[in-house]
Structure 1
C-alpha cells in the first residue's frame, strides 16, 4: 500500500524574526492532511484555532476550516478629502459602527445592486477582534512612481477599513462543520458559491462603512484604491488555494496593517508559487489575547492606550479590547515588511500613519454605567 507524501512547508521569515513554534507545528499538521500540496507561512505567521493564521495552503481538496468563519475578511483603502484635521474633534464624529445604518442614511448610496445572499444583518458594521476603521495620513513615500499611479502623495488622508462578512461567513462554516467537522467539503462547488457570496459581502461591507465615516467627517465618499481579501479560497491551476490571514500577492497592491500605534505599509506584491502567490496581511500577533490582557493591565492605563506613540487617538469603549489589541501584542511591522522585501515578495510603496482608529463606540462614563446596570438586569 502506497503512503501519501506529506506536502512541503516553507516559512518566509528572516533569522531575526520570531515565529511561534506552535504556528510552525500547525503548518506541518495542515501539510499532513490528505490532498495537501504546499503550505506557505508568511512573516506574520501565528497560531490560530485549528489552522495557522498568516498562511496560504494549496491542496487538491477543499477544506473550509482552513479559511475559517470570517470568509471575505480584508482591508480596503479609500482616499478622503478633509480640510482641517483635529484628531480630538474627528474622533467624536465617527458614527456608531456597531450598528447598521438607518434606512434613510445616505451612505446606502454606496450599495449598488443586490446584497449578496440577501444577508442584511450586520451590514455596515465593523465587528470586534482585530477589525478597525482608521483615518490615516500618508507618511513616507517609498516608491514615488507607484504612489503617483495610485494617486497618493505624502500628507494625503485615507480611510483604512478592516472587516469581513460578519455573521454570514460564520453561518457558512457552521453549516459545514455541523455535518463534516474539519473534513473536506462534500460538494466544493456548492461551498464555493456560498463562499463567493461572503467574499462579495465583505467587500460591500467595507465600502458601506467607508461611506458612513466619510459623510460623518464631512467628506464625499470615494471608491477604494485598494481592496484585498485575506480569508478566502481561490481555485488556481486546478487546485484549491486556501488563505487564512494572507493576502493575494500576484501583482496586486496590498495594505499590510501595522498596529494602531505604528505605521502600516501599502506594498506592491509580486509573490510567486513558493509563497503560494500570497503576502502577509498585517503585523501578526506575538501574544495571545489572554496574555496581552494580563501584561497590558500591568504596564498601561486605559488612557495611555487611547493615545498612541504616534499621537493618534483610539475610539474604543471596550476596555478589555483595548488591552487585547495593544500595539505591544503584535510583532514589529518593520520586521514583517523587511521579511517580505528580503524574500522578494513585495515592494513598499507608502506608509500610512494613524490619526484616529475606531474599534468600537466609546460609550462615555454615563452610558457605560447604564450598560452595566442593564447587563446586571439581564443576568
Structure 2
C-alpha cells in the first residue's frame, strides 16, 4: 500500500478504534466475544487481509505498516486484535515463505475475505521443545495424502477458525534442524478435526483459545505446505518472527492505552486538596512509563525497517518482543498503583489492563526462551568474527 493511502487508512482506523471499538469493550467483556456486527465491519475494512498481497485480495502492507496497524488496534481490548492476528501474522507469513503458488492462490483470497485461521504448534507435552512433538502425519496407504493424529493446545481462535496450519511429525526420530516436523494446511471442517471448549483465562475476554484434536484426519497431498516434508519447523519459526513483532506492537499499543488511562485518573483524582498528578512520585511513575513506551516504539520502528529492507530479524524481533511485553507488564503495574485501591477493583479499567497484559510475556515465545535465542545468536555472531 502506498504511503498516502496508508496514512488515510491509518487515520480512519484510529477513529474507528476510539469511536467504535472502545465503546464496545463492555459488550466484549460481558459476553466474552467480539460482536458479530463488529466482526463483519472488520472484515469489510480488510483487516483480515492486511498482509496478503494486493493481487490476491489483500492490502499488501509492508512490515512497518503492519506493525503500526497492530499497535493502533491494540489500543482497544485485546480481543479485537486477536481475532485477525493469526491471519495476517503467522498463517500468512508461513504461506508467503513456504506455500506453493497453488496454495497461495487458494488461501490468500480466502483469508483476505475473512476466513479465520489458527496456528497449531503447541501441544500438551510440547511447546518450545519441538523434539517432543507427538502429533504425527503418516502417508495415506490408500492415496497420496496424509493421515494426521494428535492434539494441539492453547490454540488462539480454534473455536471459530476456518483453517489451521498444523505442525506434525513426519519422521519418527528428531533429525538435525528439526527436519522431523512438517506443516499442513487443514480446513477445520475436515472429518476427524474437533475442538475442545474454550479455556477460561486470566484476561483478554473475547479472545478464545482451545485444544484442537486430530483423529485419523485425512488430508490430500497438496495440504503439505510447500509440497515438501521436513520444512514445517523452519516455516513455523519464520512465522513466529512475524508473530513476535505483532505481540511487541500489541504490548506497546496496550501500554499506551493504560498510561493514558492513568494520566486521566491522576489528573481527576484529588488527595490533600489537589490532583494526585501534582505529586512527584506519581509523576515519576508516569515519566518512567512514557520513557519505556517510547523505547519500545523506537525498537518497533527499527526492527520493522530492517524486515522491510530484507534483513534477517530473528534476534531483533525476539528482543523487541521481550522488551515490549515486559515493559507493558511494568506499565500496567504502575497504572494499578496510580489508581491506588481503585486499581484493584474490577469496576475500573486498571484491573483489566493488569490481567490482559500478563499473557504478552508468554505467547509467541516466553521471555526466557527468547532470551536464550537472543544469546545464541549473539554467541554465533561473535564466533563468526
* Shorter-chain TM-score range: under 0.3
TM-score by length of 1: 0.27
Which of the pair is proportionally richer in helix?
Answer: 2
Q: Greater strand percent: which structure?
A: 1
Q: Which has the higher contact order (CA 8 A, sep 6+)?
A: 1
Structure with greater Cα Rg: 2
